[in-house]
Structure 1
Amino acid sequence: MLTQVLSIVRRRKWIVIGTTVGAILIGLLATLLMTPQYTAEATLEIQRETGSFVKVEGAAQKDNVVDQEFYQTQYGLLQSQSLAERVATDLRLQDNRQFFEMFGVKPDDVFGKPGGKAVSRADRARAAGGLLLAHFVVRPERLSRLVNITFTSPDPDLSKRVVDAWSADFVKVTLERRFDTTAYARNFLEGRLAQLRTRIDESQRRLVDYASREGIVNLPATAGTAGGPGTPERSLAADDLSALNQELAQATADRIKAESRLSGQGGAVVEALSNPAINSLRQKRAEVAADYARMLVQFEPGYPPAKALKSQRDQLDQSIAREEARVQGSLTQNYQASVQRERAVSDRVGSLKTGVLDLRRRSIQYDIYQRDVDTNQQLYDALLQRYKEIGVAGGVGVNNISVVDAADRPQYPSSPHMKINLALATLAGLLIGAGIAFLFERIDQGIADPSEVEAHLGVPLLGTIPKVSSGDPIEALRDIKSPMSEAYISLQTNLSFSTDHGIARSLAVTSSRPAEGKSTTTYALAHLLARQRRRVILIDADMRSPSIHHLVNLKNEAGLSNYLAGDDAVHAMIHTTGTEMLSVLTAGHHPPSAPELLSSGRLAQLIQTLSLDYDHIVFDAPPVMGLADAPLIVSKVEGTIFVVESHATQRGVASVAIDRLISTNANVLGVVLTKFDPKRAHYGYGYDYGYGYGSNAESGPDSEKAGR
């Protein structure tokens, strides 16, 4: 494939060279005529996560995942029309006529024609922004947060100013966008807070009115301390019930205690034992009883001192009994008082229970109103806190866009590049030239290579005849060492293998159209056969346009047409030539209808008659296409040679002509490729090897050695 391409380029080299030179000249001229362009560049850093000086969030939700969508959005914002118009407005380009002229825009198209309708400033800014965008480029750096922005214009100062303004305005727009988002959130929260304040007032008013109407009194809730939570709001009746319930429990305990102290004598004794007065009387009685017992040991009971001690003991017993009776009465009174207090507190608790149950039934709607108040208050507190946080975050103004490298004033033009343009022009010229060459190859249906003969025509190649660049082909044939003679000798050799008895006795040479080398081939073949000491007769069967008599310098007076018309003196019509053993029968006078003469039986009779005197009969037949002469001739001979002019005869035409011959039962021995130029062959090697080999042998051994 590569060899074929190179062969096509070599054959069409002047087309490729001319196209390439033309493209280079056009590229050079275009480069020289181009206006120098200057490109300014700046580098920006776009951070995915925005920093914050305070531990509060703004209105926009933040995502810590680095995604390509975010950066593509930023690149799109960098190339937005609004940002370009802002840059144009900041630099006042919408009022600069020179700016529009710089980019090939007529000022009248932007500012309006004199005396006509004036163009608005906004429209001019939009037009200037469009021009800026057309020459503005965003180039992100892979696997980084950096992005390069460039602007190209004929003015280096303008390029620098545009890039600087673009960077600054992009930072400002980002801050403004964040501030606008926060401001929108603040405005929204302010409206919601106002609505919640109104709802809180209405719900609180509804709650108070219902409590006043239903007589519901609740104790306020208490705030929690650092040590624990506060107490919620509770009703007064429930608080009283709780207190009285504790009192009831205490009264019941006191009653049980008093009852246990009162129950049985044991309780009185126990209480008396703990009484100091009774204990003192009992101790004193024990002393008196001891003295009385000692006195009875010595004296009788009637002894006066003994009687006095007994009387004292009895008085002490009475005093102890009175004290124990007093204690018993005190316990009884205490018990009765405890029972009365327990009963009174129990009655009050029962009354409060009924009141609390009734209050609970009336507090269902109150609780609904209370929950409404609490919900509104919680929403209000949450939104108020959020409002404060947004206010702080929006006031800080942290930006995620920073300028890493500011633009420098371009010192050298960024375009046009002479070397690059010439290289591109050369490449384009080569490609276009190669395309044209291949197009010509596709258009050219001629057989340019001997290997195409059998592939496209279906018959073998008998020989390849080189093209004679100058001189007479007949003179070249007479030189036995000429390339043409060598080629026809090769043809003769191939013909010797075409039949089982060598070269056919009768041969016809034809072609698809005139001037393909048919007559020369016929003469050359007859001439070479005669030189091999064979008797050969060359018959010019092209009665419409005879040419053989010119090749051998004879007059065309009487010939083939005369014999076919009925003149039997054929031997009188045969001429000898300068070549021994070679005779010629010219075409004769131009007949009214050559096909009628050829379709008669006299042509076969002529071949039979001449075969007795000649070894080979060679016919120079007329072309095949458009005529009936050639099929009539080739159907009568033993073999047919088809001549094809290389690089000229169309493959389709030659194929149709050969098919027409085969359809008449002609024995097509093969094709002779004439006027072949090896330099125009597809592969360009080997076909002319040996045509001039040894031609300088007469120069001596040294020259032959040097030629090799």
Structure 2
Amino acid sequence: MNKEELHLRDVIRIINKRRHILLVFLLSVVVLVSVATFIMTPLYEGVTKVMIEKTEGGDLTGSYNRSSYDPIFHETQFQLIKSRAVARRVVNILSLEENYDALIGKTVQKTSPLRFFAMELKALPERVRNLFKSDEDSPKNDAAESSKKDDLAKIISEQILVRPIEGSRIVNISYLSPNPELSALIANTTAKAYIEETLEMKLSSTRNSLQWMTKKAETEAKKLRQSEMELQNYMKANNIVTIEDRMTVTPQKLSEINIQLIRSQSRRKELEALYSKVRKVGRDYRAATTVSAISSDPSLQAIRAQIVETEKNIMELSNKYGAKHPLMVKVKGDLQVLRRKRNQEIDRLVESIKNEYELAQANERSLRSQLGSTKNEALLLNEKFIQYGALKRSVDTNRQLHDALMLKLKEKSITEETSPINLWIVEKASVPLKPARPWVAVNLLLALVIGTLGGIGLTFFLEYLDNTIKDPEDVEARFGIPILTTIGRWRDSEKGLDQVVLNEPQSQFAESYRALRTAIQLSFPDSPPKKILLTSSEPGEGKTTTSVNLAFALARSDNRVLLIEGDLRKPRFHKLLKLNNAKGLSSYLAGVADSQIIQKGALPHLAVIPAGPIPPNPSELLASNRMKMLLESMSKEFDFIICDSPPLLPVADTRILCRLFDGVILLSRFGVTTYEVLGRSNKLLDDMGARRLGLVINGFDAQKSGYYHQDYYYAEKPKDSPAAS
């Protein structure tokens, strides 16, 4: 079953339950921060305000425009202020290596023991190295002074703070020191040293730039002259005057030749196909007239028309005259002449087609040859142009670079005294009257916040690690087991909980057992269970105590109750109820005793069967048929049978008994039984088909649970004592 969402009331309950841990953690953090704050050395802060502006030269007239905010530029300036170079200038300006005792010595005297110990610990490695150095290896005086300056510069650079004022170009340069005079002096000197370092860097950069640019301009002038000579010599050697125009015309010429070649190829293919067709016809003049190129000739068409007309005359004359008539002979002669004339015309046309085909072939060859030569010319021209272009680009590049360098050189020589940064000391640091560190109020507030949040986090972490049963509703939500009742934690060290229903019937503990009795009777109102087995997951969870008190509670309501000690391994009934354990359940199951094993209890309606002597084979005895017969016979005489049993997980006895009873009550102990153990026990009962009546939580502590923390019964807090198991 899915767990419900965590509500605000659950958060409050967890915090309230572990409020002692929260308070201890909060108090510890506050005490530690308070102690650390009050033993810290008071540090005074000297603050100098400096305005930093970046300017950009607009022209050679000296006018400048203020640039917009540049975070990279400003961060660079901040790092420069904190640099060792500026710190060394401060050391030199103040002669700190000579005035160390007068200035730095006061600082060391005012240092707190904690800070002094940290400083000494940091300087310990250097002192150890100096102990092992020989006289020959000792540095000279100049080197020693330089090392001392570097150490002082390192101290100053680490203590300098740079903070820009938001929305302005003003920067606060501050220095923290236990000596208020020294803090103001270092802050003012750092601002002055920063301005001097910036100007020195600018002048040095300008001088280096002019020297480099002068040498570079001379080098580029030589390169320009050399490249111009190479270009001129190449143009003379290759007779190149108008190469750009030729590079423009040649592609157009190639394109035109390509177009003519394509047309010539098409024409040649057409004539080739026509000539091939005519050759196939050969001397077959009648078939030749079917070729469109021949039949469409006007001369041939005229001859063919004459032939048709002559043939028509022959047909008309043949109807009047015979074959040898002079007119017939004349007309037939004319027909023969026309046919020869037609054949001659066809031969002429065939020869014409052949000539056109051969001419097309020659034209195609000529164009192809012209195309090849033009391509070779273009390739040669292209190679020349590539070399010419490379030389010309080299000349152009060298000329541009030379001109740019000359322009920059002249501009730099004019504007070398200008600075790209405007620096002003807006306000000098004054000697502080109050320490700036530590921030007592802020530290205490942070301690409260961190302590509270850390304490809450610790309470939830401990709650997460605590996987034992504490919340009845959580158990029901996880496993679906109804909670029959919760038995509070017994706190009276002089009295036991074993017979509280009998000895203290008005106590809240007795009321809890009566609530368990009522829950059993109302759980199944039509057929309440008569045979009830009590078990737990592991030893020490209160089975015996709960069995005895439940039997007392049922017997007090005028029910005939039989209490059976089903735990044949570690029986306790005879000790709690002061019974004779010479005979009991083990004796009956082993067949050495009869039903006279029943003994009278402390109440009139209560009977008890003790465990008897401890047998070597408890599981085999409980699994025998005599146990089933005993329960069936006792069910007729008693209204309820309450049976205590061994723990469910360690041994198999309870798994045998649970099938013989109408219902099983599972017991657990608050803060001891884990959810994993309870889950395994619950699964075992389900696998065996046991009828679960519900769960009883023993040793319930309402204050630790945070659940019923306002219950009246949990108001008193006597000394704790563990409840009997």
**Superposition TM-score, scaled by structure 2 size:** 0.64
Partner of 2:538: 513
Partner of 1:82: 85
Residue number among 9, 17, 27 corresponding to 1:21 in the alignment: 27
Partner of 1:658: 682
For 2:404 and 2:123, how far apart are their aligned partners in 1?
A: 61
For 1:645 and 1:560, how far apart are their aligned partners in 2?
A: 28
For 1:110 and 1:50, how far apart are their aligned partners in 2?
A: 47
* Structure 1 counterpart SS, 2:693: strand
CA shift, 1:43, in A, is: 1.6
Residue number among 147, 150, 169 corresponding to 2:174 in the alignment: 150
* Structure 2 counterpart SS, 1:157: helix
1:168-317 map, 5 Å: 168-188=192-212
* Structure 1 counterpart SS, 2:447: helix
Partner of 1:437: 459
1:678 matched to 2:702? The reply is yes
Partner of 1:421: 443
* Structure 1 counterpart SS, 2:486: strand
Partner of 1:596: 620
1:113 matched to 2:130? The reply is yes
Letter in 2 for 1:606: L
Partner of 2:692: 668
For 1:33 and 1:381, how far apart are their aligned partners in 2?
A: 65
* Structure 1 counterpart SS, 2:61: coil
1:46-125 map, 5 Å: 46-49=52-55, 55-56=61-62, 64-93=67-96, 96=100, 98=104, 104=119, 113=130, 116=134, 117-118=138-139, 120-125=144-149
For 2:615 and 2:403, how far apart are their aligned partners in 1?
A: 123
* Structure 2 counterpart SS, 1:56: coil
Partner of 1:466: 488
Letter in 2 for 1:483: Q
For 1:457 and 1:51, how far apart are their aligned partners in 2?
A: 80
1:282-681 map, 5 Å: 390=412, 393-395=415-417, 400-470=422-492, 471-474=495-498, 476-478=500-502, 479-499=504-524, 501-570=526-595, 572-681=596-705
Contact between 1:536 and 1:618, CA under 8 Å: does it hold in 2?
A: yes
* Structure 2 counterpart SS, 1:481: coil
Contact between 2:499 and 2:549, CA under 8 Å: does it hold in 1?
A: no
CA change 1:5–1:608 in 2 (3 A) is: same
For 2:479 and 2:403, how far apart are their aligned partners in 1?
A: 98
Letter in 2 for 1:573: I
CA shift, 1:557, in A, is: 2.1
* Structure 2 counterpart SS, 1:515: coil
For 1:153 and 1:40, how far apart are their aligned partners in 2?
A: 8
For 1:428 and 1:640, how far apart are their aligned partners in 2?
A: 50
For 1:5 and 1:426, how far apart are their aligned partners in 2?
A: 20
Contact between 2:81 and 2:194, CA under 8 Å: does it hold in 1?
A: yes
Contact between 2:562 and 2:608, CA under 8 Å: does it hold in 1?
A: yes
CA shift, 1:192, in A, is: 7.5
CA change 1:65–1:16 in 2 (3 A) is: closer
Unaligned runs of 5+ in 2: 1-6, 224-394, 716-725
* Structure 2 counterpart SS, 1:113: helix
Residue number among 26, 30, 40 corresponding to 2:36 in the alignment: 30
CA shift, 1:406, in A, is: 1.4
Contact between 1:196 and 1:380, CA under 8 Å: does it hold in 2?
A: no
For 1:507 and 1:626, how far apart are their aligned partners in 2?
A: 21
For 2:489 and 2:565, how far apart are their aligned partners in 1?
A: 23
For 2:689 and 2:13, how far apart are their aligned partners in 1?
A: 39
Contact between 1:11 and 1:679, CA under 8 Å: does it hold in 2?
A: yes
CA change 1:124–1:683 in 2 (3 A) is: farther
* Structure 2 counterpart SS, 1:497: helix
For 2:409 and 2:642, how far apart are their aligned partners in 1?
A: 116
For 1:503 and 1:380, how far apart are their aligned partners in 2?
A: 112
* Structure 1 counterpart SS, 2:168: coil
For 1:636 and 1:458, how far apart are their aligned partners in 2?
A: 23
For 1:691 and 1:191, how far apart are their aligned partners in 2?
A: 97
Letter in 1 for 2:450: A
Partner of 1:315: none
Contact between 1:509 and 1:641, CA under 8 Å: does it hold in 2?
A: yes
**Superposition TM-score, scaled by structure 1 size:** 0.65
Letter in 2 for 1:511: S
Residue number among 185, 189, 192 corresponding to 1:161 in the alignment: 185
Contact between 2:565 and 2:644, CA under 8 Å: does it hold in 1?
A: yes
Letter in 1 for 2:166: R
Letter in 1 for 2:654: A
Contact between 1:171 and 1:399, CA under 8 Å: does it hold in 2?
A: no
Contact between 1:36 and 1:416, CA under 8 Å: does it hold in 2?
A: yes
For 2:13 and 2:442, how far apart are their aligned partners in 1?
A: 29
Letter in 1 for 2:49: T
For 1:198 and 1:441, how far apart are their aligned partners in 2?
A: 84
Contact between 1:522 and 1:620, CA under 8 Å: does it hold in 2?
A: yes
CA change 1:107–1:505 in 2 (3 A) is: closer
* Structure 1 counterpart SS, 2:616: coil
CA shift, 1:586, in A, is: 0.7
Higher Rg of the two aligned structures: 1
Partner of 1:308: none
CA change 1:26–1:398 in 2 (3 A) is: closer
Unaligned runs of 5+ in 1: 200-371, 693-708
* Structure 2 counterpart SS, 1:673: strand
CA shift, 1:438, in A, is: 2.7
For 2:421 and 2:448, how far apart are their aligned partners in 1?
A: 50
- Once the two structures are superposed, residues 42-74 of structure 1 have per-residue CA deviations (whole angstroms, 9 ceiling, x without a partner) of 2211113379999337xxx97744433332332
Contact between 1:462 and 1:494, CA under 8 Å: does it hold in 2?
A: yes
Contact between 2:27 and 2:451, CA under 8 Å: does it hold in 1?
A: yes
Partner of 2:344: none
CA change 1:397–1:620 in 2 (3 A) is: closer
1:683-702 map, 5 Å: 683-685=707-709, 688=711
- Once the two structures are superposed, residues 609-659 of structure 1 have per-residue CA deviations (whole angstroms, 9 ceiling, x without a partner) of 111211111101111121111111112111000011112211111221222
- Once the two structures are superposed, residues 358-408 of structure 1 have per-residue CA deviations (whole angstroms, 9 ceiling, x without a partner) of xxxxxxxxxxxxxx9xx99xx99996x987865564447696011112112
CA shift, 1:535, in A, is: 0.7
Q: Percent of pairs identical after alignment?
A: 29
CA shift, 1:91, in A, is: 3.4
Contact between 1:7 and 1:683, CA under 8 Å: does it hold in 2?
A: yes
Contact between 1:495 and 1:502, CA under 8 Å: does it hold in 2?
A: no
* Structure 1 counterpart SS, 2:11: helix
For 1:12 and 1:690, how far apart are their aligned partners in 2?
A: 20
CA change 1:475–1:192 in 2 (3 A) is: closer
For 2:478 and 2:220, how far apart are their aligned partners in 1?
A: 95
For 1:197 and 1:567, how far apart are their aligned partners in 2?
A: 129
For 1:606 and 1:430, how far apart are their aligned partners in 2?
A: 63
For 1:196 and 1:425, how far apart are their aligned partners in 2?
A: 68
CA shift, 1:506, in A, is: 0.3
Contact between 1:46 and 1:145, CA under 8 Å: does it hold in 2?
A: yes
1:42 matched to 2:59? The reply is no
Letter in 2 for 1:69: I
* Structure 1 counterpart SS, 2:603: coil
Letter in 1 for 2:130: K
- Once the two structures are superposed, residues 285-337 of structure 1 have per-residue CA deviations (whole angstroms, 9 ceiling, x without a partner) of xxxxxxxxxxxxxxxxxxxxxxxxxxxxxxxxxxxxxxxxxxxxxxxxxxxxx
